[in-house]
Amino acid sequence: MNEQTLIHGHKPVSPPTGVPVWDVDPFSVDVLTDPYPFFEELLSEGPFAHIPKYSILICGGYEVTREVFSDHDRFVSSRGVGLSDFKLEEPWRPPSIVLEVDPPAHTRTRRIIMRALSPVVVRNLRDAFQADAVALVEEVLAKGGPIDGVADIAEVFPTRVFPKAVGIKQPDTRKLVDYGAMVFNAIGPDNELRRRTMAKAPEIVPWINAACRKDALTDDGIGATIHAEVGNDGFTEAEAEMLVRSLLSAGVDTTVTGIGNALACLAQNPDEWVKLKADPEKLALPAFEETLRYTSPVQAFCRTANLDTEVAGVKVEEGTKILCVLGAANRDPAHWDQPDRFDISRKTAGHLALGVGVHTCVGQNIARAEGQAVLRALAERVDCIELTGDPVWRPNNGIHALDRLPLRLIPA
């Protein structure tokens, strides 16, 4: 297709019969920093709406979003999880060989990464994470006074423990966090947010690529386990580097966001904090899980219709980009009881914050272990967690993350 006929890197589509046209920009700063009115309106539009600004379909109802997001035969990731269609336009970096491929290629690489993230590996990391979380909380409490929950806890913990688990010899907190912001901003259109983070690419991307090479990794981490697969089933050194890169793309910023959001939720819901303190060992993980449902760190991903098909009675033509709004699906009252209430006792099974189907997050158990460790360490050592100012959200095209979180921690 001629490049001039593309809209934001994909084929333009007309509204299917019966689908409302919704004049909204899901990538506006207002929506990205306060998405909840947008979610509510999206859920009222029906199974799909057509957004003329980007010539895409959008869905947010739980059942439809789950169907589109999980059916990798009809709705593919290999054509890009953002607005750009990789079948028609060159991506900004080589596509992820986990997130942006489909079976059977995806099956091969996912099998390798899942061996590197085996239950034994995660179990061993969990103990280390708990010790590191205790040390961090004690460091923060020793400083005294107000803190920034983002800069002092949420960004520190994942960038301290996860690169060590991967085997990055010389981690750089700022580059790791900024790379995650770049990856998720790339999901959206060529707006100011995307341009601003992409401007850092010449500095960040070479560092990330170098950090994923075998000689830059320790010989006892997850990265070394991945590199040890080179030569098996035609697996190459370049693919090993890309798999390690995939871990850094998705394994830092999302966990930073989840931990920061959890701190905000617990500070804003003191009854839930009391509940957590009563049994931290049992409730730290459910509290983190409810945070994932309630705030959906990854707000939305695209899928591309790989054939003419139909969903919920709506005809969808091949090449259609569909923005699946996970944040709205996780608050759909047709699926969840009192979805706008933060409740760490809730049964959260089935939430879409970590994906679903073959593309469910490969590092989800590590993310859960990190979040659980931090919340347990806090609940066991902090009597009260209070906001000392309003949380400030950092707009990003793909992720709902805090920029600043002014807190006071009162020691137990």
The string of DSSP letters for 314-382 reads EEE-TT-EEEEEHHHHTT-TTTSSSTTS--TTS--TT-STT--GGGS-TTHHHHHHHHHHHHHHHHHHE
The dotted CATH code for 3-411 is 1.10.630.10
411 versus 96: the higher-pLDDT residue is 411
What's the rounded Cα separation, in Å, for the pair 360 and 114?
12
Answer yes or no: are the C-beta atoms of 252 and 162 closer than 8 Å: yes
User: What's CA 366's distance to the chain center, in Å?
Assistant: 13
pLDDT value at residue 1: 39
Rounded Cα distance between 329 and 42, Å, is: 10
Whether residue 154 contacts residue 263, with contact meaning beta carbons closer than 8 Å, is answered with yes
Judge whether 114 and 134 are in contact, CB under 8 Å. Answer: no
Q: Alpha-carbon distance 288 to 263, whole Å?
A: 10
pLDDT level of residue 104 (50, 70, 90 thresholds): confident
> For residue 3, what pLDDT is reported?
43
pLDDT tops 90 at residue 106: no
Q: Are β-strands 56-59 and 321-325 bridged in parallel, bridged antiparallel, or unpaired? A: parallel
pLDDT, tens only, 272-320: 999 999 999 999 999 999 999 999 999 999 999 999 999 999 999 999 9
Strands of the 406-411 sheet, one edge to the other:
147-148, 406-411, 382-387
Instruction: Note the pLDDT of residue 258.
Output: 96
- The whole-number pLDDT of residue 105 equals 83
Residue 98: which pLDDT band, with cuts at 50, 70 and 90? confident
Q: What tokens does 54 get? A: 């980007």
Query: Residue 316: its pLDDT value, please?
Result: 98
- Is 384 buried (19+), middle (13-18) or exposed (0-12) by CB count in 10 A? middle
- Of the candidates 29, 64, 32, the one whose C-alpha atom is nearest the C-alpha of residue 45 is 64
For the chain, what is the mean pLDDT? 93
| Interval 269-273 mean pLDDT | 98
Q: Residue 351 has what pLDDT?
A: 96
Neighbours of 88 (CB within 10 A): 18
Cβ atoms of residues 354 and 62 within 8 Å:
no
Is the model's pLDDT at 77 over the cut of 60? Answer: yes
What pLDDT sits at residue 363?
A: 81
Q: CA geometry: angle at 262 spanning 260 and 263, to 5°? A: 65
- Tell me: pLDDT of 5 over 90: no
- How much is the average pLDDT of 329-343? 98
Whether the CB-CB separation of 56 and 321 falls below 8 Å is answered with yes
pLDDT tens digits, 137-186? 999 999 888 999 999 999 999 999 999 999 999 899 889 988 988 989 99
Q: Domain residue spans in the chain?
A: 3-411
pLDDT number for residue 92: 76
Rounded distance, CA 411 to CA 33, Å?
31
Q: What is the pLDDT of residues 17-30, one digit of tens each?
A: 999 999 999 999 99
pLDDT at residue 36, as a whole number: 97
CA distance 26 to 106: 29
The lowest-confidence range among 65-69, 361-365, 398-402, 403-407 is: 361-365
Strand, coil or helix: what is 46? Answer: coil
Q: In degrees rounded to 5, what are phi and psi of residue 21?
A: -90, 125
What CA–CA distance (Å, rounded) separates 155 from 153? Answer: 6
- What count of residues does the chain have? 412
Instruction: Give the pLDDT band (50/70/90) at residue 58.
Output: very high
Give 209-258 pLDDT, tens digit per residue.
999 999 999 999 999 999 999 998 889 999 999 999 988 887 888 999 99
pLDDT digit string (tens) for 386-401?
999 999 999 999 999 9
- In DSSP notation, 129-167 reads HHHHHHHHHHHHHHH-S-EEIIIIIITHHHHHHHHHHHT
pLDDT at 2: 41
Of residues 206 and 3, more confidently modeled = 206
Greater confidence, 98 or 355?
355
Go through 165-175 and write b for each residue having 16 or more CB atoms within 10 A of its CB, e for each that does not.
Answer: bbbbeebbbeb
User: Exposed/middle/buried for 322, CB within 10 Å: 0-12, 13-18, 19+?
Assistant: buried
Quick one: average pLDDT of 251-271? 95
10 Å Cβ neighbour count for 73? 10
Q: With bands split at pLDDT 50, 70 and 90, how would you rate the model's confidence at 362?
A: confident
Residue that is written with structure tokens 């990190």 in the block: 370
